[in-house]
Amino acid sequence: MELVENIHSIKKPYGNAVITIGNFDGVHIGHQALFHEVIEKADAISGTSIVMTFEPHPMRVLKQNGHPPLITLYEQKLELIESSGIDVLICVPFSSEFANISAKAFVEDILLTRIGMKAIVVGKDYTFGKHREGNLDLLKTYGENHGFEVIVADWIQTLNGQPGRISSTRARKLVIAGEVSEVRKLLGRHYQIRGVVKTGRNRGGRLLGFPTANINLHDELCPKTGIYAVTAEYKNNVYKGVANIGYSPTFDDNEFAVEVHLLDFNENIYGKKIRVNFVQRIRDEIKFSNISALSDQIKKDIVKAREILS
């Protein structure tokens, strides 16, 4: 996949470009269906399949402190789009200046002249241009005037037959509620966080007998506090584990942490990057009367996690 991080670096239009445009936070199965339609159309006209997205998320520029936490950080979003089979990913550096481009200029100067668009695949609620002045009707009018095809994709419904379409908002709510097994039905994969293992509070192994990898979260969405069965990816290997998200109330220090105990694992991974996939929530985080009681519960959590992950 070709990655373009500056529109002005595009030297000439792509051949028969077929494009879809959006934030694609989460790269859920609805987004994946759009990519599939783009690829199918590009194949049909011997063209180039293109996804255009934005970094940072436009709400982080337009609403400042009102933006939602991200389901997928930039690095993961790129990986997921590339795995879909798209030819070109154009990631536009989003700014207030870009937000002020008119709908007409966006279509004519960027999509047609610079990218060479021959077809565009969009959802039913697609808007574009300054103040979202462009809508589906206007896009179709431009298509008639400039000779490009507008393909409107159907909404993708959830796999379990529940009402409502798949959306990033819906996925975000499920993660926040700790319903990580349900969000898999929307994402098509387990919800994942990733980060560098930092030095923790030096009590997982020393006091409890269960050493943990502690991860700092940055912009990404954090699941509800509690205990989870997880898998962790490290150096192309996958390990089973138990994650604790919360404030360790038994110790009364009120310090938020994401701690992962990897099963059957005995390596020093401080400073190393791992990826943690949330499979199922096991229980709430609760305060125990003493460390021994907490240690006993962790043993039970590990048994439960092994059952879930078997």
**Any idea where the domains of the chain sit in the sequence?**
2-152, 190-309
Distances in Å between the Cα of 83 and the Cα atoms of 28, 51, 67, 106, 219 are 13, 13, 27, 28, 23
Range scoring the smallest mean pLDDT among 42-46, 233-237, 304-308? 233-237
pLDDT of residue 60: 85
The residues, any chain, with a CB within 8 Å of residue 30's CB and separated by 6 or more, are 123, 155, 156, 165, 166, 167, 186
What fold is seen in the domain 2-152? Rossmann fold (3.40.50)
Select from 203, 243, 252, 197 the least CA-distant residue to 224: 243
Level-2 CATH architecture, domain 190-309: Beta Barrel (2.40)
In angstroms and rounded to an integer, the radius of gyration of the C-alpha atoms of the chain is 23
pLDDT of residue 192: 97
Q: Which helix (H) or strand (E) holds 306?
A: helix 291-309
Q: Which helix (H) or strand (E) holds 46?
A: none
In the predicted structure, residue 180 carries a pLDDT above the cut 60:
yes
- pLDDT-based confidence at 205, cuts 50/70/90? very low
pLDDT single digits (tens) 243-265: 999 988 887 777 888 999 999 99
In the predicted structure, residue 38 carries a pLDDT above the cut 50:
yes
Range scoring the smallest mean pLDDT among 80-89, 148-157, 234-243, 276-285? 148-157
Instruction: Answer whether 115's CB lies under 8 Å from 10's CB.
Output: yes
pLDDT single digits (tens) 111-131: 999 999 999 999 998 999 999
Please state, for a pLDDT cut of 90, what percent of the chain lies above it.
77
The mean pLDDT value for 43-67 works out to 89
pLDDT single digits (tens) 265-303: 988 899 999 999 999 999 999 999 888 999 899 999 999
Q: What is the DSSP letter of 233?
A: E
Average pLDDT value over all residues in the chain: 91
The mean pLDDT value for 22-30 works out to 95
Half-sphere exposure of 178 (CA within 13 A, CB side): 15
- The CB density around residue 77, as the number of other CB atoms within 10 Å, is 23
